[in-house]
Each structure stands twice: as C-alpha cells, then as structure tokens.
Chain A
C-alpha cells in the first residue's frame, strides 16, 4: 500500500507545562482533503504546527511522505499557510515580494529564474490577486492578505498543503475565491490538511474531518453535519465564551 503523506501516531506535545496533544493519531493519504476541527484550545493548531516542525513532539511518531520527520528534508513538497497575524511588518513589502518568499522552498539559496517568477504570478492568479502584484501588503484587507499568504504557499508548487485557519477573519467573497483555488489544487492532485473553525464554503471539498477535544481525537470520519443556525449559509461562528485574548472574535468586519 502507498505510504501516507502524513502519519502521526500517538503524538504528545506541551506548550510550557500544559499538555496540549495527548496521544493524537492522524493519517492523511495522498489526494485527501482533511479538516482538523475543534474548539479553541483543543490542540488543532498545535497539531499542524508540530507536523511542520514548529512545535516539538514530546512523544509519538511522525512521518512525512514515509520519512521520519527528523530525517525529512524535502520541504519543497510542503506548502504551509500559518495563522494570519494582524501585526504589520515594520518595512513595506509588495504582494510579489511576499509571495516570492514561498518560492524559496525550491530556489533555496540560489537565484530566482524565469520559471520561479512565473510560478509566483501563477499562484497569485489562482487566488485572484494577480492585479495586486505591486501593491503593498499592508494596504490589503484581511481576506486579501489571507489570499496572498495562500499564494505564497502555492508558489512552491507543493504536493501537500497545510493551512492553519485559512478562513479566519476572511470575508465571504474571499472565502469563495479560496474554495475555488483549493478545488483547483485538489484537482491537480494536491493533498490538503487544514485547520478550520467551521466547514463553511469548503464543506463540499472535504473528504474527512478529524475533531479534537482537549488534545485527543474524538471523531475521525465523514464531516459532521451542520445543524440549526450553523447550517445557514454565511453563518458566522462567533464564540461569546471564547477567551478574547486567545483568539479574536470573528465578527466578519474587516479592518
């Protein structure tokens, strides 16, 4: 049988002294689109950040493309979209400059060639931002900024796309654009693992949902059916009980 793209077995991880993952098993096979769901603090972000090596595992095993994480060097095969931070960078940068950083997965320390420049433009076309190449990123709305970060991950032409809350604070129009970009990537044969707060417009694309609660997998199977008000199109999930310091309220109002 073919090697899974991601194989996480019995993973444990802590942030400070608090255990955040308490034995997580997660397998993603080639061509699958897997959503990682769960409430705030359930460990879903920590799970993906440990997969991309940003949070050390304290126990368990992780293999990427059949290679143990420790020996995995082929990062050009992975495209990563970190959780968007609203903090503006000190120095201005254009959309093209930010997206070009994604191409470094392939060029590494070498110079950018024509194919690299074309890949950057192509990635921006995919998210509908090709006309904003020369605009400074701090002039973009939240949704447009998120599209740029996704283009940055796509610029490296990855086989596996890992996205941490790509829909957080993103307006409906941008959500639709992102869904169609993702659909094209999936059609091309990409494997996708994404952290979501709710399924939203991505629902039809998702093959499997893994739900975390308190650092443990409580569901692994078909995406849960949305019920009640959650099922309404355009419903925006605002958690009044969420710790406001831990996560901004998603009112849908963009800055």
Chain B
C-alpha cells in the first residue's frame, strides 16, 4: 500500500472521497426536479471564476466558488421567474461563462491553456494542501445541507406547488439547492474537471434509480456508487497513468450499465413474488372489490 504513503495521493484520495459523496448527494435533487444538466451549466460559469482567480493571483477554488454561487443564483432566478425564453438566458450564461474564463485566463500573466486543461478535465494529482482545506470545508457544507434538510429538499423537488402550500420557505430552499450545487462543482473541479462534474451528479443517481424503490435508498446507493467510482478511478489513474476525471466518469457509466442489466431480472423477481401473494382467482368478486375496477 505504498500509494497511501505519498502525500499527494493522500490528498487526491481524500478529495476523491469527498467528491464521491457530495456530487450524487446534491445531484439527486437536481435529477428529481429534472435539472440534471444544471451542474454542467455551473461548470461552464465556474471557468470564469478560475480565470479570475489566475488574473487576481488568488486561490482559484475560492474565486470559482464565489462566481459559481452567483451564477447558480442567477440560474435559479431565471428558472423560477423565467418565461418561455429561459433557455436562451441560460445559454447566454453558460457560454458567457466559458468564454469569460478563456479570455481571463489568456489575460493573466501565469495563465496558459495547459492550466485551463487541468480545470476542464481535472488533475487530481496536483491538488495542493491549500486546495484540500477548501475542498473539506465546502464538502462539509454540502453534506450538512443535503442530509440535514433531505425531507424539505425532497418535498420542494418532488412537488414544488404543494411544498409552497405547506408554508415551507420554498424560495429560500430553492436558492440553497442552487448554491449547494455551485459549491459541489468547485469541490469536484480539481478531481473530475469542470466539463465532467455534471456526470458525477447525474450518473450515480441514474444508476441507483434503476434498482432502488425509495428516495432514501436511491440517495444511499448513489453516494455508494459515487465513492466507489471516485476512489477506484483515482487509484487506477495512479497505476495506469490515465486522466482521473475520464477514468472516474467511464467507470460510473460502467456501473450504470451493469445496474441497468440487473434491473430487469430483479423487477421480474419482485413481480413474481407479488404475484405469488395475490394470485388471480375467479371468485375475486366475492373476496372483495378489486382495488381497481375499470369502468367503460
């Protein structure tokens, strides 16, 4: 286990673990409200933050966090007040963020396209001590929010109109989801890269909803899948010398395919079990009214 004795690998594995937990934890709410690609949009905006960080010669993680939070809040406001042209406004934000990042990066003295690539596709081995402190703090915020407020966030993502009538502070919680997603993007940026961040928010959730039957199980399984692929992807990239972000995402897709293939026989087994309990009988009418009679 010489891999664990290297300081940069310790940092890399810790960062990978935190991304594996946080990305699916917020991703499940985004998937539930059909905003699966929001992470991708925030990732584009984050690039402006990274460029700004280089230009100002400060930590790109914190500047990117600030820019992402602003971008995510704007996206949430467009979503909640938005009319038909919301998609155009979002497109402006995405590509403006991307172009702004490239522009700022080229203007900054220390910036180059090589730097840009490490943020676009992740470069887990270059995670610094300063980065890891930021990642830990940000991840703690994401975990506390997504687990501590799971019932409330479930309610607003499952049926927003109903949630408003229960008197929950829905607007505030919506903003919190957006801010948490933004924070998660910056947590994951060094590990999988801004262009692949959204994959870790969506794919573990998509994989676990193939076989899970409840929200709680989907949540737990998605986090388990996230941790599995980020850790094994990081270890693989150490031994085989392949990029960490791409390895992690391809592994996640692999898990999705396996679980999808498992889902069909599993569903059949469940159906058989139910059928064994409630066999059709001719004297069903006397046994009591069927649950769903069909009228014509």
Contacts and interface: CB of A to CB of B under 8 A. Distances in A.
Contact of B167 (A75, A89, A94, A152): A75
A219 B228 CA distance: 64
A101 B163 contact: yes
Contact of B159 (A82, A173, A254): A82
A253 B165 CA distance: 31
Contact of B294 (A75, A98, A252): A252
Contacts, number: 119
Interface of A: 52-54, 73-76, 78, 80, 82, 89-94, 96-98, 100-102, 104-105, 107-109, 112, 134-136, 141, 143-144, 152, 156, 171-174, 234, 236, 251-254
Nearest to B168: A104
Given A173-B290, A236-B295, A97 B167 contact: no
Ordered nearest first, which 3 A-B pairs have the shortest CB separation?
A75-B167, A252-B295, A105-B166
Contacts of A234: 295
A173 B151 contact: no
B154 interface: yes
A41 B214 CA distance: 37
Nearest to A252: B295
Given A104-B152, A253-B296, A93 B162 contact: no
A54 B166 contact: no
B215 A172 contact: no
A90 B218 CA distance: 11
Contact of A89 (B158, B161, B163, B213): B158
A94 B214 contact: yes
Given A91-B205, A172-B295, A173-B290, A97 B215 contact: yes
A252 B296 contact: yes
Given A73-B167, A136-B214, A93 B158 contact: yes
B292 A254 contact: yes
25 contacts: A54-B165, A75-B165, A75-B167, A78-B165, A80-B162, A82-B165, A89-B158, A90-B33, A90-B34, A90-B209, A92-B212, A92-B214, A92-B218, A93-B158, A97-B154, A97-B215, A101-B151, A101-B154, A101-B162, A101-B166, A104-B166, A108-B168, A172-B293, A174-B292, A236-B295
